[in-house]
Amino acid sequence: MTQTDAATATLPSLSGIHHLGLTVRDIDESEHWYADVLGMVRVFVEPHPAGGGTLW
């Protein structure tokens, strides 16, 4: 077994993503892009009284 084989043999496989947080410049434009290109949908909006913010 090579050093590369040994290193990759211990890595877990990726079976999905539970959640993801992103910072974007334009939320409306970004929401359309992530929906159209990646098929993502906004799940909820979390209010941030001190500074704004949206989670999807």
pLDDT digits 0-9 by tens, 10-37: 777 878 887 777 788 888 898 899 899 9
Contact 56, 40 (CB under 8 A): yes
Phi then psi dihedrals of residue 11, to 5 deg: -80, 135
Mean pLDDT score of the chain: 77
pTM, two decimals, is 0.46
- Rounded CA gap, 11 and 22, in Å? 25
Angle at CA of residue 26, ends 24 and 30, nearest 5°: 70
3-state class (DSSP) for residue 34? helix
Report the pLDDT value the prediction gives residue 41, as an integer from 0 to 100.
Answer: 85
- Token pair of 33, please? 């892009």
